[in-house]
């Protein structure tokens, strides 16, 4: 199907009942007994409303689902056809073609016959079957019935709604005018699906539904227990409900504000994976430009639509990213408020994942010491990790090759988060050994391909009480000699347990996905470092993430 290259509108009038396509309707939906099938016809109120609607709107054509009806039933005995004829407006069926329906019924017939044959065997020979044979046949019958349901569901919704849309689209295409107005009478179960497809074809959709309300009558017991000639029945009022479909389906947008010139494709990909319909990246954002971007993004969608707009703040500098966060928060006020995620260069989700795994590892190993060292910790991940470890009660020392830089980072941590960290110099392996001796947790957060702890240093540290070492470097040589990226609390030296970059990264990705997912759905709140850490803890407590089950092969 190709979108229509002209303006067109479809008024979708919801019928009072579903129009069945075939006899297999009963596979998915309750079967109406013969006594209730009389309600599958338009009421007087619906016919009068349709008359008034056609008089007022004068559509170019009307379409209706044909279902199982014959030509005579659709064109001659159909009240809708009679009204359209009186108004001089053409009526066309929009449904699965008869030949296509016969073809689709073939696959369904095959599944039903197989299922029914198994059920007949179960009914006739139940007493003569062994327990194993009985269980096998029951399992096979369940499988066939599930396949039957899936096939009927696919035809009833995916296939049928595509045919309905194609029927409406082709009639609109053949209407030689710009600004086509079509009217389609639809089953309630197909309103959303057909509307979605029509919007994809460029149509504007208006949905009309009649709502029936019983008028109170103090002299009448309702529902009546007896029907007699003189019984007074309640009155009804019929109220048209009109809405423009699509307003409640505004897309989820993520505005990605990055202080770096080039926005990270990593975060963009994750955002799409969790359900954002579009990610709008802005590179090189600063305090001055951020305010205008945020205000334009907030005010253009209104109080309702703003909840489907979220912000992600990135960048290599914690200070610059936090400044952007401050601007975003200052720009919001009720009701123009929405969710904001801050994760500068992945530092917050990475450090949250790392410290959560260290905490869990310490619990499992029974680590008693409260001394922690963050090697080469002056970067965003190092600072954030040092803060989280200090918050857990560790005495944290953050290192750099230059003592002044280490102390400056410790001061920034204290001013930003209010936690105390000591900054010290570690410029060689002798100073590294001195800093690490007696520590129960070691984090290596240096540059890729730079070894911070040598094998000789590890040899001096091994053999004592359990020590956890975590390395964020996945590029050889790793930051800690012998600690592989895929180590996940594995003892790689006597008494030294390693957590590698891939093990941390796996949890980091889950944390970021979960945060972005919650931000999209909740439409409010600030998702910062502390929130990322809480999320990492929750995910670890909840287990390994995705449930993976090996196939279970049954033999009878």
Instruction: Collect contacts of 265-271 with beta carbons under 8 A, ≥24 apart.
Output: 266/346, 267/312, 267/314, 267/343, 267/346, 267/512, 270/509, 270/512, 270/513, 270/516, 271/312, 271/516
CA 165 to chain centre: 26
CA distance 374 to 382: 6
Exposure of 519 by Cβ count < 10 A (0-12 exposed, 13-18 middle, 19+ buried)? Answer: buried
Q: For strands 204-214 and 236-244, give the pairing.
A: antiparallel
The token duo for 128 is 């003569």
Tokens representing 38 are 């009389």
The contacts of residue 55 (CB under 8 Å, 6+ apart) are 87
Average pLDDT over every residue of 399-413:
97
* pLDDT tens digits, one per residue of 487-504: 999 999 999 999 999 999
Over residues 235-260, the pLDDT tens digits come to 556 566 666 555 556 899 999 999 99
Give the pLDDT band of residue 514 (cuts 50, 70, 90).
Answer: very high
Q: Which one is predicted more confidently, 541 or 255?
A: 255
Q: What are the pLDDT digits (tens) for 351-361? A: 999 999 999 99
Question: 300-320 in b/e burial notation, b at 16+ Cβ within 10 A?
Answer: ebeeebbbbbbbbbbbeebeb
**Token pair recorded at residue 342:** 């801050």
Nearest Cα to 287, choosing from 332, 249, 250, 321?
321
User: Does residue 222 have a pLDDT over 50?
Assistant: no
Tell me how long the chain is.
Answer: 556
> Taking residues 294-323, what's their average pLDDT?
92
- State whether the Cα torsion 404-406-412-418 is positive or negative: negative
pLDDT score for 220: 46
Q: Look at residues 329, 325, 310, 385 and name the one whose alpha carbon lies nearest to residue 353.
A: 385
- For residues 213-237, give the mean pLDDT: 50
pLDDT, one tens digit per residue, over 517-538 is: 999 988 899 999 999 999 999 9
Question: What domains are there in the chain, each with its CATH number?
Answer: 8-103+114-216+236-248 (no CATH), 253-342 (3.40.50.10280), 350-506 (3.40.50.720)
* pTM of the full structure: 0.61
């Amino acid at each position: 199907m190709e979108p229509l290259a002209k303006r067109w509108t479809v008024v979708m009038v919801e019928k009072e009942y579903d129009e069945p396509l075939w006899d297999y309707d009963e596979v998915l939906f309750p079967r109406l007994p013969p006594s209730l099938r009389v309600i599958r016809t338009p009421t007087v109120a619906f016919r009068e409303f349709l008359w008034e609607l056609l008089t007022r709107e004068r559509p170019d054509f009307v379409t209706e689902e044909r279902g199982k009806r014959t030509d005579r039933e659709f064109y001659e005995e159909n009240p809708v056809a009679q009204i359209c004829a009186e108004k001089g407006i053409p009526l066309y069926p929009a449904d699965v073609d008869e030949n296509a329906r016969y073809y689709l019924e073939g696959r369904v017939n095959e599944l039903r016959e197989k299922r029914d044959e198994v059920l007949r065997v179960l009914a006739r020979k139940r007493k003569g079957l062994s327990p194993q044979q009985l269980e096998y046949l029951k399992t096979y019958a369940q499988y066939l019935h599930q396949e039957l349901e899936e096939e009927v569901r696919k035809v009833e919704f995916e296939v049928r709604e595509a045919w309905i849309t194609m029927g409406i689209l082709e009639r609109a295409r053949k209407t030689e005018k710009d600004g086509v107005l079509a009217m389609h009478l639809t089953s309630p179960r197909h309103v959303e699906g057909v509307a979605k497809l029509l919007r994809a074809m460029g149509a504007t959709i208006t949905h009309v539904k009649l709502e029936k309300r019983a008028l109170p009558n103090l002299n009448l017991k309702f529902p009546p227990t007896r029907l007699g000639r003189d019984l007074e029945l309640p009155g009804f009022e019929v109220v048209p409900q009109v809405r423009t479909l699509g307003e409640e389906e505004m897309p989820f947008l993520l505005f990605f504000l990055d202080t770096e010139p080039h926005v990270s494709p990593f975060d963009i990909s994750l955002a799409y994976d969790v359900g954002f319909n579009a990610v709008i990246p802005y590179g090189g954002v600063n305090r001055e430009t951020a305010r205008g971007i945020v205000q334009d993004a907030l005010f253009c969608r209104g109080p309702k639509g703003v909840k489907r707009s979220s912000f992600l703040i990135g960048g290599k500098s914690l200070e610059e990213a936090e400044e952007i966060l401050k601007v975003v928060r200052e720009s919001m006020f009720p009701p123009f408020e929405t969710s904001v995620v801050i994760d500068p260069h992945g530092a917050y989700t990475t450090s949250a994942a790392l410290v959560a795994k260290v905490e869990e590892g310490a619990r499992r190993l029974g680590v008693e010491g409260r001394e922690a060292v963050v090697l080469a910790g002056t970067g965003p991940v190092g600072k954030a990790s040092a803060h989280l470890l200090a918050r857990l009660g560790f005495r944290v020392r953050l290192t750099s090759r230059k003592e002044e830089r280490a102390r400056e980072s410790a001061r920034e941590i204290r001013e930003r988060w209010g936690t105390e960290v000591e900054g010290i110099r570690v410029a060689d392996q002798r100073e590294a050994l001195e800093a690490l001796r007696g520590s129960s947790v070691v984090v290596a957060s240096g540059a890729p391909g730079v070894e911070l702890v040598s094998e000789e240093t590890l040899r001096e540290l091994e053999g004592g009480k359990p020590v956890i070492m975590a390395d964020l470097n996945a590029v050889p040589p790793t930051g800690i000699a012998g600690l592989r990226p895929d180590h996940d609390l594995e003892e790689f030296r006597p008494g030294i347990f390693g957590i590698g970059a891939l093990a941390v990264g796996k949890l980091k990705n889950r944390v970021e996905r979960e945060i972005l997912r919650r931000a999209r759905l909740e439409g409010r709140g600030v998702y910062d470092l502390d929130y990322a850490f809480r999320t990492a803890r929750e995910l670890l407590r909840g287990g390994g993430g995705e449930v993976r089950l090996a196939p279970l092969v049954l033999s009878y």
